[in-house]
């Protein structure tokens, strides 16, 4: 693995420096079966699972036998609400259920790294200093800024949560999907052709738990350090 570097673009399309893309995040082997499992689990979790049909026991009526058992020449029936009757219940129809699948945090993080690495190897990961300059949001200015990365027909823009101007400027653009850096996921990376990080969002992402230690491990280390200082 080798560390990648990309140009940091300005809103005017000029280069303002270089940004390092850590190899452990942007140059790992892409595990396609793992990514598939994580994406399917994400799509399954989005299903409400509130579909329901009425069985013959739920449909109103059907208490009386339609006709007597013998002597009519017709087939015998015991209820007008059986599944073979019009207006009857549904046999083996869908019922409310939970579609969620179990995927742990390490699997999700590995899928994100694999998807980002695939985009980075294709040269489709970009970094921009800021999308909108000034103090007022502007969709026109935001589109002009992101146009410098090339085709923006399917672009994922990763933003810092504090970048209110960019959020307001991009929220109505149908070809751009703006996403908070802490909500980055494999599905949105794969469904878009290119990924554009703001410099602030990239700094947050590379410094986050995806890069190495978990939040629990960091908390344990901080507690140990505090205990060591107390004993001194």
What is the pLDDT at residue 231? Answer: 62
What is the pLDDT at residue 149? Answer: 87
The rounded percent of the chain whose pLDDT value lies above 90 is 76
Integer CA distances (angstroms), 229 to 163, 216, 220, 221, 224, in order: 38, 20, 14, 12, 9
More confident residue, 142 or 227: 142
- The per-residue b/e assignment along 27-39, b for 16 or more CB within 10 angstroms, e otherwise, is bbebbeebbebbb
Give CA–CA dist 80/84, Å, rounded: 9
Residue 210 pLDDT class (50, 70, 90 cuts): very low
What is the pLDDT at residue 211? Answer: 44
CB 5 within 8 A of CB 122: no
As a whole number, the mean pLDDT across the chain is 89
pTM recorded for the entire structure? 0.77
Give the mean model confidence (pLDDT) for residues 76-103.
Answer: 93
Integer CA distances (angstroms), 155 to 6, 15, 29, 103, in order: 17, 20, 23, 26
Structure tokens at 121: 């190897």
Give the mean model confidence (pLDDT) for residues 156-179.
Answer: 93
pLDDT of 95 above 90: yes
pLDDT of 3 above 90: no
Structure tokens at 126: 């970009």
Give the mean model confidence (pLDDT) for residues 32-49.
Answer: 96
Return the CA Rg of the chain. Answer: 28
The rounded percent of the chain whose pLDDT value lies above 70 is 89
What is the pLDDT at residue 214? Answer: 43
What is the pLDDT at residue 213? Answer: 47
**Sequence-separated contacts (24+) of 218-222 with Cβ below 8 Å:** none
């Amino acid at each position: 693995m080798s560390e990648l570097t990309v140009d940091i673009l300005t809103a005017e399309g000029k280069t303002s420096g270089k940004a390092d893309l850590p190899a452990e995040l942007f140059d790992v082997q892409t595990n396609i079966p793992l990514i598939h499992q994580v994406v399917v689990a994400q799509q399954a979790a989005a299903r409400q699972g509130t579909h329901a049909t009425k069985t013959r026991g739920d449909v109103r009526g059907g208490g009386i036998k339609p006709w007597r058992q013998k002597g009519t020449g017709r087939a015998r029936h015991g209820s007008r609400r059986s599944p073979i009757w019009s207006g009857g219940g549904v046999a083996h129809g869908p019922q409310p259920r939970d579609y969620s699948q179990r995927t742990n945090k390490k699997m999700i993080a590995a899928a994100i790294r694999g998807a980002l690495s695939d985009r980075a190897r294709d040269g489709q990961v970009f970094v921009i200093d800021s999308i909108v300059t000034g103090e007022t949001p502007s969709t026109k200015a935001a589109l002009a800024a992101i146009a410098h990365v090339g085709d923006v027909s399917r672009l994922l823009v990763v933003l810092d949560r504090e970048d209110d101007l960019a959020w307001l400027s991009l929220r109505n653009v149908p070809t751009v999907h703006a996403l908070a850096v802490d909500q980055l996921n494999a599905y949105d990376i794969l469904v878009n052709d290119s990924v554009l990080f703001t410099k602030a969002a990239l700094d947050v992402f590379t410094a986050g738990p995806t890069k190495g230690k978990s939040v629990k491990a960091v908390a344990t280390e901080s507690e140990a350090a505090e205990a060591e200082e107390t004993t001194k």
